[in-house]
Amino acid sequence: MSRKTHKITLAALSAATVFTLASAEMSGAFAQEEANDGAASAAVEVAEEAPAPTFVSSEIVQPVPEVVEEDVVEPVEAAAPAASSLRELVNATSTDFSLSEQMQCLAGAVYFEARGEPLAGQLAVAKVVMNRSEDRRFPDSYCGVVYQRAQFSFVKNGRMPRIRTSSNAWQRAKAIARIAHEDQWDSAAQDSLYFHAKYVSPSWSRKKAKRTAISSHIFYR
């Protein structure tokens, strides 16, 4: 073999070696990319299959959606009927509703203690029951006040007598109870906690501050 032929053969071998190494590197790079792509795909699949968390351990501030003014709806409250007198208010107040236990007690006190009194006197009796329920010296509910021992003479053996629910007096008592409970009309009794009929003079009355006298009842604080 001549030197020239030997040199060509060596050059050819070198080139073949370089090409082989380059091919190997490229093949490795392609294999690495495929491996990376496979790992990424697997990660996506795992992420998609992972269950959503049920709670977070840190505060998240949610973006507040923009409120369009025309979408805002103001709450509607039932307004008290407009009236120039208590009688007009009573006549305008609906009594076509079922009473809760507490409102039954309040209306019952009005009915039995003051159904023969003018409306202002009936409202004053309702205010006394309400005032007592808000005073720590008395029970904290209308029924607790009404059924408190030895306080209201119409209560017998812890029970309220039968009410003539079809009577006009009961309908007025219901209206008065609602007006008092919803504070729709001021009462001359103000913050009174006690009252008695004018034909009696209990000893405790001398120690109380008189607020007003309405028809046959006197009211005290």
CA distance 15 to 24: 14
pLDDT at 47: 43
Reading the block at residue 86, the tokens are: 């208590």
Torsion of CA 161, 165, 168, 170, to 10 degrees: 50
Q: List, for residues 52-85, the tens digit of each pLDDT value.
A: 444 333 333 334 445 444 444 444 445 667 899 9
The parts of the chain modelled with pLDDT lower than 70 are 1-80
pLDDT at 79: 60
Q: List, for residues 108-129, the tens digit of each pLDDT value.
A: 999 999 999 999 999 999 999 9
